[in-house]
Structure formats: structure tokens, C-alpha cells
Amino acid sequence: MDSARADLTGTIQCTPVAQSPRTPFEMPDALASHILESAREAGCEHAELRVERIRSQAVALRDGDLETVADDTETGVGLRVISDGAIGFAASVALDERTGRRLVEEAVEIARLAARASGQRVELAFEPGHGEVEWSSSHRIDPTGVPLARKVALLARWSRRVLDAPGVDHVTSSVLAVTEDKFLADLAGTIARQRRVRIHPQLEAVALGAGGDFETMRTLAPPAGRGWEYLEGEGWDFEAELERLGPLLVEKLGAPSVRPGRYDLVIAPTNLWLTIHESIGHATELDRALGYEAAYAGTSFATFDKLGSLSYGSPLLQVTGDRTVEHGLASVAIDDEGVEAQRFELVRDGILVGYQLDRAIAARSGLGRSNGCAFADSPMHIPIQRMANVSLTPTPGGPSTDELVAGVSHGILVEGDKSWSIDMQRYNFQFTGQRFFAIENGQLAGQLRDVAYQATTTEFWGSLAATGGEDTYLLGGAFNCGKGQPGQVAPVSHGCPSVLVTDVRILNAKEESGT
Amino acid sequence: MTLPAPQEVIDAAIAAAAHEPCIVIVEESHESEIRFANNTTTTNGRRRDRRVSVIRFCEVEGGTAAGVATRSGEVDVAEMVAAAAGDAASSPPSPDAAPLVEGGEDPGFAAAPTEEDLGAMAPVLDGLARAFDAARSADRVLAGFLEHQAETVYLGSSTGLRRHHAQATGALHMVGRSIDGARSAWVARSTEDLSSLDVAAMDAELATRLGWAHRSVALPEGRYEVVLPPAAVADLMVDVVYSASGQDAEEGRTVYSSPGGGTRIGERFFDLPFALYGDPAEPGLECAPFLVVGASSSEASVFDNGMDLERTEWFAEGTLTNLRYHRAGAARSGRRFVAPVDNLVLELPGATGTTEDLVARTERGLLLTCLWYIREVDPANLLLTGLTRDGVYLIERGEIVGAVNNFRFNESPIDLLRRTVEVGASVTTLGREFEEWVKRVRTPPLRVTDFNMSSTSAAS
């Protein structure tokens, strides 16, 4: 429970990940204070207010011609309270004193309605007030401020470059940019103003073969918590990637279909981030493990009684949750429940040692303080437990990707993510990728087609035979991690090195379909 | 703050555009939801949202370009018009350019946005409270979601077109699990009117299925005869329609591409004369009768906003009959304009019978009550992978004899319809995975042979 008096005049107590000028989004301190006081006077045991402005821009080209343009600015205010031991949330796109009064009334009204069927009072783990906090993710150029014509020109140039490669028939290219300004105030006295910037450029090429056959290949550049400078080469070498894309695609179209069986896999971070996301990231969300997502996203095989004892994988497996890493898509200074961002262990030496928590789950589980994993994707949505940047630690001085390949006699090198699916307890998964290279006697032996790898989480991570060094480490991720009802999407990053996983089941997708 | 009336926003934006070509869309929604798990309510909320989109069209060298600005709440229409016009003026010609739709004013355009009534949830909450009590005494836990939305859309253009549509949407989803998590079952009902929900009946259905699972049977991967209830069929049909882009097919990159170039329109895909269609006037599944597009794509265009929607058959008598094209694309390809419709119906004309009827006629097979995490593996044959969830049951000699472990499947819904050997009557249902996007759906139960269970899943 959080019963401290509203005090909206604190001091800076949080350490920003990266310094930036005050955001241009001026938040109404006096109005926030008024709404929070109204909630307290209405008997609410807890109240927190978020005012947000989220600007999203999408541009997409097909074969170099502009196809899609979207420029969306969402603004709104959301109030979460605990009243009568139940959670109530109300949100509106209007923002003034009258709306504030109505938000309090509506949040309390639905909390009291929910209390009619409440079997358990909601309490929140204690979190001290952090005073005034200002924070911005690390970026140089706000991508939503870049003129449309400049974006179109860059994507058109990229498209022409790949289209000009022999054998490439079609190209789609896109960039999605988001600038998220968020103001949060709560009854504990935290006032946080935060800006997060993220960008995701993609280009996919299509090559047509004889008899209706075709293949696609997408760029491997991950989405990043960076600004427009990312597309200009800061953090990724797009020119080099585009140069290789056409020839690699043509090689893939002519590659042999994989023979199903069991293989040793060298998995690059451009593919492995998604396997980590699905099989470790979601499985270590304690709300899932305790059954609070049973109706939708699912539960977890990593049940609470196994904390400290579950053998998640080989002793090489070291996994952390981190909401502070620079350029991380889930990085913040203060989460959406007023909790300071943290870095914490999830798997140590292959053993499950931690979970991702929000305040209600931290209180209910008796684990103490929340580790700051609450997030709402919109001012119109209630914060729920969402994923931190969950990352696999590289081996200091560990092998390069080439050295991992050199140690494999019969295997496959996997690059880039594509199709993914995992069961509701995060056991059985199946992934494909952008490209698969056969490994024979420690050497790459050309690409393979129709490859999918399928495994059970603990079996897969138990077969982790080597983790690459820091030089192989990459922060991958996605903008669109889905969870909750109503559905919310969250951006999240996952860092990892290249790895070697032995004896993994490989399927031939064409054979699976019976064609 | 009282927001200006949607009609005033439209008039103001068109005036700010000095009656140059533009379209204004105002989407108003009021929503409430109650979430529950472990026999208690969890996250509960209400929201009042308004999104306004202004689309400006400008003549540029070589043609017409479009710019779009979308904002929420009380918007500055002058800023939006300027932003959209700026983007249009700096863009190359739009490949989807077409004349703006002409027309008059819909009846009801002057009406205020529909309000959502929180009071309608109270009886359902009382029903849930009783269900939670019953579950506690039976060592069961319930989880789920109750939702209700009132959505109103207004669309106006510089041509004088004024369109309006209001719609209520609601649903209750429930999952029942044994206290040890070993047994689970799912049911869901969609409704515009929450008073039609019978929580006790849904809870009884869960209890029945959990009772079936008192006997568990372990089966290996392999190919099985399966009975797919309407909800599972609904989830499998979503990708069949989602993949129906005309331009993508023409470019050779979908299951609807002809190996020799062009599309497979006119080709018979299934021996059974299935019809797969969307229809805004479908009784019980009525939806917006005109097109609303906030951003252009290869198959839907902002230029086409306000176009009438009509019954659109993707498949008729087992034959592919339509793919989606915006007007400009249709003109280039010599096809008809076909737009997405917000409902989906699969039926076999004349088919009768229920899921229970199919089960009763099954010698040995699996009943797959719902499917989960369905993703495309290969667009060339529309191979999908996914999993069974919350209820796989073994049928022997027409009876459910126990619960079976979960499976991962690899199947193409196109191949699946080809292998269908028995079809029941189509009924209104709600898919498990894609209900958030496809809330109005009517599908039949199917009996399918040789369903490919690629591996077992230990999840329960």
C-alpha cells in the first residue's frame, strides 16, 4: 500500500541514463496534484497519474514507390487508483480540471464495481517517492522531427540499391519511429518526466524462381532505442547490409532444402534475441507464473515454487533483466508505477534465481520491492507487468562467431528472425530465420532452405555448449511484444552473444506442409 | 473539458482546408473492462477516446499525393490540415490515387456518439462473484476478461460526403483450471448486449470440460483425425483472408499467386463447395457498411474512404473468387475493387449439425477446443504453426473419453479445407487468438483427416 501524502515538490533522486534537455512536453503539475488529492480525498489507498504524448510515424515504400504514410500523435491522461481493495483505472483524451474530477469518479466507480467480485485485496509493494525526475533515452536526432521527404528519399535509395541487384524482383522498405513523452505523478511524491525515442527500419527483398517458387530476405538491423542517427550509420552499417542482401537472397533461392534431423546450431544474436524473449523473457514474468495471465498470454513452466532450484539450462546460462541499458527499448528511469529502474538477475549459472515484477505481484509473492517492470503502452491503458530488457551475458574473452562455427562438424548457422511460436507455458517452441548456412567440418557450406528449429525450453538451454564473447554481442528486440487484455504492445530489447546449442531438432517446413 | 461535437470537427477541418480536397475521420470510443484471475478481479478500467484523422490531397508533379495527420482528443484542426498538406505536398504521386467518393449524408450522421453503460456490467460481476465462490469450493480457479465497447465513426469529405456508423461490441472470456493447473478449459461468448451473458452456463460448460479431463491420455506426435469446433476454425481462417492481397499475389509472393504469373482467381481450391465471405449486412454480424482507412497500403487506400462495402466472397463453391484491391490497383489489374469487411463467415451451403454431432459420429479422433500462437511459417503454401491449448480431448466411439496432452501443429488452412471430410452448420463464435481483431465471425465445426501434430507440448 502507498499512503504517503501527495507532495509534488521533491528533488531529483534518480540518476538519468543519459542527460538531455527538458522535454518540450510541458506537464501540468498543478492539475496532477489536484487530481491526486481528489483521489486521496475520495478514499483511494493509492493513486498514480500519467499524462502522455506518443508520436508515431510510419513510412513504407514498395519497389521504391511511396505506399504508406502515417503520422499519429496520441495524447491523454490515465489515472489508476486502489479503492475498496480493488484496482480502478480511468482514462480520457481530454485534460482539464473537470475531466480530472470525472477520472477520479470513474476510476473509483469501476474499482468498487470490481470489488463486488474481488476475492483478494490488492496491495502494492512499497516504493519510496523519488521526487522530480527528468530522463531521456540516448539519442541525437528526434526521428519524428525528420521531414517525410527525407525519410522517403532514404528508403527509396535503399530500395533502388537492392532492386538493382541481379535476381531481386521486389523490395518493400519501411521505417517506424516513435517519440514517447510521459509524465507520471503519484501519491508517494514522485514526479517523472521521461522521453523515450525508438526507431525500426526494415527492408525485405523478394526473388522469384521458376515454377512459382520464391524466397524473401529481410535486413537484420534490429529496432533500437536511438534516433534518426541510427539510419545514418550510428550503431549499424546499413550500407554493408544492403550490399550483401541481394546476392544472399539469390543464393538462398537456389539453395538445397534442409534434410530434417538433429543438428548443432550456431545461433547469431539477430535470431537468438527472439528465442530469449519467448522462452526466458515471458517465462520469468511472475504474474504469468502465478496465473494472472492464464486467460490470455498464458502461464509459465517456471513456477514460483521452483525459484532457486529450477535448472533452466546449462551452467553457461546467465540472464539478467535490465531497464537501464543504453539504447534498450524497455529502458526508463522510473516505471509506470513510480518504481526506479533496476538491473537484476533472472538465471545464474543455469538456475532460475529471479522474476520480473510489478508492485502488486511483488507484494503478493512476498518478494519485497518491485524491480520496476510495469508499463502501459498508452495513456488509455492501465500499467501491467511488462518485460524488462532480458539479456544473455556473453563470456568474457569468449569465442567469435567464426570460432564457434569452427568447432562444429555438422550443423547450421542461423541468422535473423522470422516466424516464431511458443506454447502458453513457454515450453515447446518453433522458430525460423532469415538465413541458414550449413556447417560441415567447421566450415560454412552454403545456405539451406525451409529450415525451422523446434525444441523445449529447458532442453534447448540445457544444450547450450558455448556462449560467444563480447565482440559477438548485439542488442536485438522488437516494438510489438503483446500481452494483456485489452491487448497492449511493448517495445523491448534483448542482448546476447552468438551461441552454440547442440543436438537441436530441425524440421523441413515444406515437408511439414506435405508439399 | 467537453470535446466539440464530431460533426463540428469535420466541418472545421474541411473549412480549414479551404475546401481543397480532404477527408476527415472522427472515431469515438467508450470502453469498460473487468479482468479476473485466481478467482478475483485484477485490472479494471474505463476509457473515453477520440481519434481524428485529416487526409489532405495535393496535386504534385506527375499526379496526386496524400498526407495524413492523426491526433487524439481536442485537436487543432488547422495544425492537422497544415501537417497533412505539408506531407502531401512533399510526397511523390500516390500509386493509389483515385477520385474522392461522392455522396450525401447518412441518416444518423447528426447523432451524438454512443455512450457505454457501466451499469450493464454489474449483473455479470455478480454472476462472476458466484462463479468464483463455486470455483473455490470445487478447487478450481477462474480467469478471464469482460469487455464492452461503444464505438462511433464519423467520416466527412470535401465532396460533401457524410457517413456515420455506431456499433457496440462485448465479450466474456473464461478459463477454468484445476487448482494444480493440470487441467484447463476455455469458453467465450461475444455479444453487443451484456445482459444476454449467462455466466452460470459458461461456468457449467467449463466444469463439464474439466470433468472430461479427470482421465488423461498421453499421445505422441503424428497425424490424427480431428474435430475442430467453430472457435478453432475461426482462428485458422484469419490467415486465409489476411493473405488475400491482390497485389501481393500478382507479385508472386503468396499462396494465391499463380506459378505462371498472375493470381489464382477462378481456380478451384476445395472439392467441398465452401463459401468464405464478409458481408456488412450479415444478420447478427452487422458491421460498418463503408470503408474507413487511416493509412494506405497495397490493398486499401485513403482515397477510397467512404466507399460502400458489400458482400465480398473470397471463396465461392470452393473457388477463389476475389482478392483485395483498392480502386487504383483494381483498375491497373483489370479486377474489381474489393475492400476488407469487418466480419468473416465460412460455411458449406446446406451443412447441418453441431460439434457434438461430429463428435458423436467419430470412431477415434481428437477434439481441439482452441488453438494458440498461430504464426505463418511459409507464405507459399500458407503453412501455419501453432499449438493446442486449454482442452484437447480423445474421442472414441462417439464419446469423449479423456483429455490428451497438448500438441504443436504445422498445417496450412488451405490444405486443411481440402482434407475436410465433414462440416457442420456455421454458428456465431469467437476465436481464441485473433478475437481482438476479428470479433464478428461465423464458422462451422469441421472434421479433418491427417491433422499434422508435429510434436507434443508439456504445457498444461
Cα distance from B350 to chain A (closest Cα, Å)? 30
Cα distance from B150 to chain A (closest Cα, Å)? 15
CB-based contacts of B194: which residues, under 8 Å, 6+ apart?
B120, B121, B123, B124, B146, B148, B170, B172
Cα distance from B180 to chain A (closest Cα, Å)? 11
Please report whether residue A145 resides in a domain: yes
Q: Which residues of A touch B458 (CB under 8 A)?
A: 301, 425, 427-428, 456
User: Which residue in B460, B240, B237, B233 sits closest to B369, CA to CA?
Assistant: B233
* Residue A11, pLDDT score: 27
Both ends of chain A: CA-CA distance in Å?
59
Q: Which domain does A120 fall in, by range?
A: 29-253
**Residue A106's domain is classified under what CATH number?**
3.30.2290.10
| Statement to judge: residues A68 and A101 lie in one domain | yes
Tell me how far apart the alpha carbons of residues A494 and A330 are, in angstroms, rounded to a whole number: 9
The answer to whether A427 contacts B458, with C-beta atoms less than 8 Å apart, is yes
Does the CA dihedral B314-A69-A137-A93 come out positive or negative?
A: negative
DSSP strand pairing (B446-457 vs B406-411): antiparallel
Please report whether residue A309 resides in a domain: yes
- Exposure string of A474-502, with b = 16+ CB inside 10 Å and e = fewer, is bbbbbbebebbbbebbbbbbbbbbbbbbb
Does the CA dihedral B117-B121-B122-B123 come out positive or negative?
A: positive
CB-based contacts of A118: which residues, under 8 Å, 6+ apart?
A84, A85, A86, B40, B41
DSSP B308: B
User: Which residue in B95, B14, B109, B101 sits closest to B60, CA to CA?
Assistant: B95
The answer to whether B45 contacts A90, with C-beta atoms less than 8 Å apart, is yes
One DSSP character per residue, B418-435 reads HTEEEE---EEE--SSST
Cell numbers placing A116: 463486488
Please report whether residue A4 resides in a domain: no
Q: How far, in Å, are A168, B47, B117, B153 from residue B150 at the CA level?
A: 47, 11, 9, 10
Confidence tier at A4 by pLDDT (50, 70, 90): very low
Q: Among A17-21, A273-277, A339-343, which stretch is predicted with the lowest mean pLDDT? A: A17-21
pLDDT digits (tens, 9 = 90+) for A50-105: 999 999 999 999 999 999 999 999 999 999 999 999 999 999 998 888 888 999 99
CB-based contacts of A45: which residues, under 8 Å, 6+ apart?
A1, A2, A3, A81, A82, A83, A85
| Contact by Cβ (8 Å): B363, B397 | yes
Interface of B with A in 121-140 (CB under 8 A): 121-122, 125-126, 128-129, 132, 136
Asked if B208 is an interface residue toward chain A (Cβ–Cβ < 8 A), one would say no
Tell me if the domain spanning B6-210 has CATH number 3.30.2290.10. yes
Asked if A285 is an interface residue toward chain B (Cβ–Cβ < 8 A), one would say no
* Residue A13, pLDDT score: 29
3-state secondary structure string, A287-345?
HHHCCCCCCCCCCCCCCHHHCCCCECCCCCCCEEEECCCCCCCCCCCECCCCCECCEEE
| Contact by Cβ (8 Å): A59, A152 | yes
pLDDT digits (tens, 9 = 90+) for A224-279: 999 999 999 999 999 999 999 999 999 999 999 999 999 999 999 999 999 999 99
Q: Which residues of B touch A506 (CB under 8 A)?
A: none
| Contact by Cβ (8 Å): A281, A298 | no
| Contact by Cβ (8 Å): B144, B132 | no
Number of domains in chain A: 2
| Statement to judge: residues A332 and A426 lie in one domain | yes
What are the pLDDT tens digits along chain B (460 aa)? 579 999 999 999 999 999 899 999 999 999 999 999 999 999 999 999 999 999 999 999 999 999 999 999 989 999 999 999 999 999 999 999 999 999 999 999 999 999 888 889 999 999 999 999 999 999 999 999 999 999 999 999 999 999 999 999 999 999 999 999 999 999 999 999 999 999 999 999 999 999 999 999 999 999 999 999 999 999 999 999 999 999 999 999 999 999 989 999 999 999 999 999 999 999 999 999 999 999 999 999 999 999 999 999 999 999 999 999 999 999 999 999 999 999 999 999 999 999 999 999 999 999 999 999 999 999 999 999 999 999 999 999 999 999 999 999 999 999 999 999 999 999 999 999 998 889 999 999 999 999 999 999 998 8
Please report whether residue A3 resides in a domain: no
Helix axes A238-253 and A148-163, enclosed angle (nearest 10): 40
Both ends of chain B: CA-CA distance in Å?
49
Burial of A30 from C-beta contacts in 10 A (0-12 / 13-18 / 19+):
exposed
The residue written with cell numbers 485485496 in the block is A121
The answer to whether A513 contacts B378, with C-beta atoms less than 8 Å apart, is yes
Asked if B47 is an interface residue toward chain A (Cβ–Cβ < 8 A), one would say yes
Q: Which residues of B touch A515 (CB under 8 A)?
A: 381, 415
The answer to whether A170 contacts B145, with C-beta atoms less than 8 Å apart, is no
Tell me how far apart the alpha carbons of residues B6 and B14 are, in angstroms, rounded to a whole number: 12
| Contact by Cβ (8 Å): A409, A263 | no
Asked if B387 is an interface residue toward chain A (Cβ–Cβ < 8 A), one would say yes
Cα distance from A193 to chain B (closest Cα, Å)? 20
* Section A337-359 average pLDDT: 98
DSSP A229: G
* Residue B37, pLDDT score: 97
pLDDT digits (tens, 9 = 90+) for B35-72: 999 999 999 999 999 999 999 999 999 999 999 999 99
The residue ranges of DSSP E strands in B311-398, in sequence order, are 312-316, 319-320, 344-347, 364-368, 371-378, 383-388, 392-396
DSSP B10: H
pLDDT digits (tens, 9 = 90+) for B4-32: 999 999 999 999 999 899 999 999 999 99
Confidence tier at A20 by pLDDT (50, 70, 90): very low
| Contact by Cβ (8 Å): A493, A281 | no
Length of chain B measured in residues: 460
| Statement to judge: residues A323 and A465 lie in one domain | yes
**Out of A86, A423, A432, whose CB is closest to B373?**
A423
| Mean per-residue pLDDT of chain B | 96
User: Which residue in B49, B37, B31 sits closest to B118, CA to CA?
Assistant: B31
Bridge partners of A380? none
Burial of B214 from C-beta contacts in 10 A (0-12 / 13-18 / 19+):
exposed
Confidence tier at A3 by pLDDT (50, 70, 90): very low
* Section A490-507 average pLDDT: 98
Please report whether residue A20 resides in a domain: no
Cα distance from B109 to chain A (closest Cα, Å)? 22
Per-state percent for chain A, helix, strand, coil, to nearest 5: 25, 40, 40
| Statement to judge: residues A194 and A340 lie in one domain | no
Which of A236, A253, A270 represents a domain boundary (last residue)? Answer: A253
CB-based contacts of B207: which residues, under 8 Å, 6+ apart?
B138, B140, B176
The residue written with cell numbers 496532477 in the block is A32
ipTM: 0.96
Instruction: Indicate left, alpha or beta for B373 from its phi (over 0: left) and psi (-120 to 50: alpha).
Output: left
Chains A, B: CB contacts within 8 A come to 311
- Exposure string of A379-414, with b = 16+ CB inside 10 Å and e = fewer, is bbbbbbbbbbbbbbbbbeebbebebbbeebeebbbb
Cα distance from A168 to chain B (closest Cα, Å)? 12
User: Which residue in B114, B126, B143, B148 sits closest to B45, CA to CA?
Assistant: B148
Please report whether residue A24 resides in a domain: no
Q: How far, in Å, are A61, A143, A198, A229 from residue A232 at the CA level?
A: 18, 11, 14, 5
DSSP B266: T
Residue A486 preceded by cis peptide, ω within 30: yes
Which of A224, A253, A282 represents a domain boundary (last residue)? Answer: A253
Please report whether residue A9 resides in a domain: no
Asked if B408 is an interface residue toward chain A (Cβ–Cβ < 8 A), one would say yes
The answer to whether B410 contacts A294, with C-beta atoms less than 8 Å apart, is no
CB-based contacts of B420: which residues, under 8 Å, 6+ apart?
B270, B272, B446, B447, B448
The answer to whether A118 contacts B40, with C-beta atoms less than 8 Å apart, is yes
Q: Which residues of A touch B49 (CB under 8 A)?
A: 76, 91-93, 380
**Out of B132, B252, B460, whose CB is closest to A214?**
B252
What is the reported pTM? Answer: 0.96
* Residue A26, pLDDT score: 57
DSSP strand pairing (A214-218 vs A261-267): unpaired
**Out of A68, A290, A484, whose CB is closest to B297?**
A68
Tell me how far apart the alpha carbons of residues A272 and A494 are, in angstroms, rounded to a whole number: 9
Tell me how far apart the alpha carbons of residues B258 and B22 are, in angstroms, rounded to a whole number: 38
| Statement to judge: residues A465 and A357 lie in one domain | yes
* Section A115-131 average pLDDT: 94
Which of A253, A283, A303 represents a domain boundary (last residue)? Answer: A253
Please report whether residue A444 resides in a domain: yes
Interface of A with B in 197-256 (CB under 8 A): 206, 208, 211-214, 216
Interface of B with A in 310-369 (CB under 8 A): none
Amino acid at A390: V
CATH 3.30.2290.10 domain span(s) along chain B: 6-210
* Residue A23, pLDDT score: 41
| Statement to judge: residues A266 and A400 lie in one domain | yes
Tell me how far apart the alpha carbons of residues A470 and A237 are, in angstroms, rounded to a whole number: 18
| Statement to judge: residues A351 and A443 lie in one domain | yes
**Out of A152, A425, A513, whose CB is closest to B459?**
A425
The answer to whether B70 contacts A421, with C-beta atoms less than 8 Å apart, is no
| Statement to judge: residues A72 and A189 lie in one domain | yes
